[in-house]
Structure 1
Amino acid sequence: MSETNQLGKPTGAFIGASWIALGLGMAVYFIGLWNAKMELNEKGFYLTVFLFGLFAAVSLQKAVRDKSEEIPVTPIYLGIAWFALLASLLLLAIGLWNAELLLSEKGFYGIGFAMSLFAVVAVQKNIRDLAAHRAVYPDQHVRPNFLDKPDF
């Protein structure tokens, strides 16, 4: 195995798949919200829970990664990150349980939410892995010369 792969540089296919999964999950969730026959405040609730969940997942992933790389992470921050993620999941579950939606619509939101949470963690991991790889191998990430020409 090459030294580059040992560093954990993600492949282009995995990076692309992660972004596509995030875009697809968000699109599914937002299309569902757009087409839903519910009050505007309910749509706002589901949008806020979705954004809160994405932020909590990224924050937790960063905290766990920092801790594994022996970067100081306070236990209170790690606890808050876990709490925020679990709170977003619980809020979505309670909201869907009490919503007057078809079971298929509830599943639609749940799958979009779960897919987006998974994908946002993968995207964050890829960004961090690429940054670590660039720090160790800066000469492998040189900007192509043709981009600097004023021909464009």
Structure 2
Amino acid sequence: MNASLQPQRPTGAFVGASWAALLVGAITFLVGLWNAAMPLNEKGYYFTILMYGLFSAVSLQKSVRDRLEGIPVTGLYFGLCWVSLTLAVLLLAVGLWNATLAASEKGFYAMSFLLALFGAVAVQKNVRDLAHFKDDAGFADGQNGN
């Protein structure tokens, strides 16, 4: 790892807030879909966009972090991560723009989607940071880290 980029241990409050953002955003989005008066195929579209968005956001965060730590990430994969996240957001925007929903419902889905993406990125960062400190503690105690 680059010596100038030492991660700091995330606080319990930040870890909790990150998990809360992920869970509140995703669960709110899903409850909204469950209760929505839309065809099942439309619900499936929005569900797939949520899952795709969460995966692409975490993958992009991991790729950025890997590069910062000197772990090789190909330019192709890094670019695909950006394209995937952009596509997920654009697909949601196009779907909501063309949906026959009230403006408040469209805003509800957009905001819960973005909250879930933020939460997923923050949780991934915390998991990575905490794993770094766990590994360091294991080696400091004379353990082999396995």
TM-score by length of 1: 0.86
Mapped to 2, the partners of 1:82 and 1:122 lie a distance apart of 17
User: Cα RMSD over matched residues?
Assistant: 1.4
Q: Quick one: which amino acid aligns to residue 125 of structure 1?
A: K
Would the aligned equivalents of 1:134 and 1:140 in 2 still touch at CA under 8 Å? no
Mapped to 2, the partners of 1:7 and 1:109 lie a distance apart of 33
Post-superposition, which runs of at least 4 consecutive aligned residues in structure 1 deviate over 6 A?
A: none
Matched position secondary structure for 2:125: helix
Mapped to 1, the partners of 2:35 and 2:95 lie a distance apart of 17
**Other-structure match for 1:149:** none
**Other-structure match for 2:8:** 8
Mind listing any 5+ residue stretches in structure 2 that lack a counterpart? Answer: 1-5, 142-146
- Residue 81 to residue 105, structure 1, CA distance change in 2 (3 Å): same
The alignment status of 1:96 with 2:96, answered yes or no, reads yes
TM-score by length of 2: 0.90
Mapped to 2, the partners of 1:125 and 1:54 lie a distance apart of 14
- Residue 127 to residue 22, structure 1, CA distance change in 2 (3 Å): same
Mind listing any 5+ residue stretches in structure 1 that lack a counterpart? Answer: 1-5, 142-152
The farther-off stretch of 43-52 and 7-16 is 7-16
Would the aligned equivalents of 1:57 and 1:120 in 2 still touch at CA under 8 Å? yes
After superposition, where does 1:22-101 map in structure 2 within 5 Å?
A: 22-101=22-101
After superposition, where does 1:131-146 map in structure 2 within 5 Å?
A: 131-138=131-138
Give 1 or 2 for the bigger CA radius of gyration: 1
**Other-structure match for 1:20:** 20
Matched position secondary structure for 2:73: coil
